[in-house]
Structure 1
Amino acid sequence: MMENGAAAIEQEDRRVDALYDGQTALTAGTLKIASSFRRNEALFDGLRVIVVETGKLECGLPGHDRFTVAGPALCLVWNRGAEEGEHVFSGGQTLRYTAVSLTPTFAAHVSDDAALRRAGSFLSDNPHIPALRISRIPESIRGVCSQIAACPLKGAGRSLFLTGKALELTGIALESTGDGETGGTAISLADAERIRAAKDLLDSNLAHPPALAGLALAVGLNSRKLREGFSRIFGMSPNAYLHEARMDAAYRLLSSGDMQIATVAYRIGFTPAHFSVAFKKHFGVSPKALRGHADI
């Protein structure tokens, strides 16, 4: 039996940031759901990019068959007009999400109908049928979501930082949901699992990661197949991914304010001197400055 939302949600941690003169909104949060419930709500007028990191929900949109979004998943909805959607949330789960909403006017500055078509959004001349696209989450979007969640800034600095991250997330989402892979041989399911296992090995060994040859040997692939397959699945080489993962981990650790900069550097496989240079180049702010904000 479906309950109403208030009774079914055991715990909700939701944050909404209005950005760029109110034309962009960033919503992020976690829902701990005790029992299943249904929620009807008006669709956002414009472009909405939704990252579901964990959990799942069943959705209904005008002009579309019912569908399920199960994390990790990326969902784009382009809607014009006063339409309504329905969401059914299953009980006994934790749903973690990040969403960016762009008004039609602002969306025109960062995209256009042609870009949305290239993203597979199935634009229609019927304004009562929202455009929809669901795909996997690129690893680069995971990193952006982590930076959004860990942002320690306040006031104008926070708004500028989050505006940039919201647009970065939108840009990656539109690019990654394009017409699909072009050229090359399809990656088998078995090889895709081996490549994801390689990513997991890098994630769990940031301080002492294996070299490409050792990583390939560990997952049962040759170096060329691992390097090419990794780039196709995650949008970057294993070395580039390792650097992104190290920087994201450092940002989270420094934002917590509980760990010294040198300790963070060694934790992710850097000397303190090299770490400071790499961190500032990656984020545009020094580790010391970020720690200063975290301590406020």
Structure 2
Amino acid sequence: MKQQIRQFDDINVVGLEHEAGDGLHAEVMQLDHGIKLTMVKGEIAEDRKFPLPLRRHALTMVFVAVGSVSLAAKAPHGRVVLGAGDAGLLSAGFAFGPTILSASEELSAVFVELPRAYMAKVFGELCPDGLKAFVENDPSERVYREITSCASIQSVLHQMSAAPVGVSLRSLFLTSKTYELVALGLERLSIENCDCRLTPADVERLKRARDILSENLSDPPSLIALAHEVGINDFKLKKGFKVLFDNTPFGYLKERRMIAARSALMKGEQSVTTVANQVGYTNLGHFAAAFRKQFGTTPKAMKKVSRIQISGAAIRNGMMGEAAV
């Protein structure tokens, strides 16, 4: 694998070339307080190892917008896999195992490295119990916490990927969005440790309800049926969802539908109508309105951008093949 580095002020854009002709690249930017942003984006023809941007006295937030990232974990977990829309907080111990970027037509992931000293300063004596392991424990241990998805995080990730500013303002834009992403992620991590009358059993039931919705985007159960399936009453289901996921069950379902639709459209293989039907929409107008509200663009425009990117990658790969001959 070769690396090509271009310098944009304080942003290093690292292009990763692979024998299979992958169009993958990473942007690395150093912020104040020792925080480091790494954005990985592009196409991957086959699974590949990726060195996590982790130091011994730091931890990392991982956000996956499109594609899949697999992280080495100690037994009995085996590996931690983050798919589209997933996020998590990792201790530095994960740097000692390989991170796998899974083969996909499109990958978009963000890594934010946070020094442990910075985390200790942010929380001081008010550090939530669920985060103390990251600030106080042996950094060689592999500690992982899920960051529950919310519409605000997905919106910021999309804005960072699109970055609707000129090159001269890109550094400023990404800096502000990185801090916003960190604040939202820490807020989501703190919520699970708040005094909100949710027992650990309630949290597990709510997460199971969330997973059921994610697994049944085109034909989800009713609110009453969902509550019955996970063993919780519908009132606590609605209230607990709002506390834990910053959304209603229906709002979360719509958010996951849009994430799945975006991933499908970025592959460029299916029509907007097919994608809409796959995520449970029979009315294209309603689908387009929901998509635009989530990502600030239409499904048709997203698919058009994807076709341009795929065509560009094909041309680049063809040129590389001719050069090899």
TM-score, L = length of structure 1? 0.61
Among 222, 239, 251, the residue aligned to 1:211: 222
Partner residue, 1:184: 197
Deviation at 1:147, TM superposition (A): 5.9
Partner residue, 1:100: 112
Partners of 1:26 and 1:166 within 8 A in 2: no
Question: What SS does the aligned partner of 1:236 have?
Answer: coil
Deviation at 1:166, TM superposition (A): 4.3
Deviation at 1:253, TM superposition (A): 1.1
Partner residue, 1:283: 295
Among 63, 71, 76, the residue aligned to 1:55: 71
Q: Structure 2: which amino acid aligns with 1:276?
A: A
Report the Cα distance in structure 1 between the residues aligned to 2:290 and 2:157, rounded to whole angstroms: 16
Question: What SS does the aligned partner of 1:181 have?
Answer: coil
Question: Where do 1:133-152 residues align within 5 Å?
Answer: 135-140=145-150, 144=154
Report the Cα distance in structure 2 between the residues aligned to 1:242 and 1:209, rounded to whole angstroms: 8
Partner residue, 2:242: 231
Partners of 1:41 and 1:86 within 8 A in 2: no
Tell me whether 1:293 sits opposite 2:301 in the alignment: no
**Pair 182,254 (structure 1): closer, same or farther in 2 beyond 3 Å:** same
**Pair 200,69 (structure 1): closer, same or farther in 2 beyond 3 Å:** closer
Unmatched 5+ residue regions in structure 2? 1-19, 103-108, 133-138, 309-325
Deviation at 1:273, TM superposition (A): 0.8
Report the Cα distance in structure 1 between the residues aligned to 2:29 and 2:245, rounded to whole angstroms: 29
Q: Structure 2: which amino acid aligns with 1:183?
A: C
Question: What SS does the aligned partner of 2:220 have?
Answer: coil
Partner residue, 1:242: 253
Question: What SS does the aligned partner of 2:27 have?
Answer: strand
Question: What SS does the aligned partner of 1:282 have?
Answer: helix
Report the Cα distance in structure 1 between the residues aligned to 2:208 and 2:187, rounded to whole angstroms: 25
Question: Where do 1:76-225 residues align within 5 Å?
Answer: 87-89=95-97, 94=100, 98-101=110-113, 113-114=121-122, 120=128, 135-140=145-150, 144=154, 166-178=178-190, 180-188=193-201, 191-225=202-236
Report the Cα distance in structure 1 between the residues aligned to 2:94 and 2:222, rounded to whole angstroms: 48
Q: Structure 1: which amino acid aligns with 2:302?
A: L
Deviation at 1:192, TM superposition (A): 4.3
Percent identity, aligned pairs only, is 26
Report the Cα distance in structure 2 between the residues aligned to 1:172 and 1:193, rounded to whole angstroms: 21
Q: Structure 1: which amino acid aligns with 2:61?
A: V
Deviation at 1:184, TM superposition (A): 1.0
Q: Structure 1: which amino acid aligns with 2:149?
A: E
**Pair 21,218 (structure 1): closer, same or farther in 2 beyond 3 Å:** closer
Q: Structure 2: which amino acid aligns with 1:277?
A: A
**Pair 244,255 (structure 1): closer, same or farther in 2 beyond 3 Å:** same
**Pair 267,168 (structure 1): closer, same or farther in 2 beyond 3 Å:** farther
Partners of 1:28 and 1:98 within 8 A in 2: yes
Q: Structure 2: which amino acid aligns with 1:186?
A: T
Report the Cα distance in structure 2 between the residues aligned to 1:202 and 1:41, rounded to whole angstroms: 33
C-alpha RMSD of the superposition: 5.1
Q: Structure 2: which amino acid aligns with 1:226?
A: L
Partners of 1:24 and 1:100 within 8 A in 2: yes
Partner residue, 1:61: none
Partner residue, 2:314: none
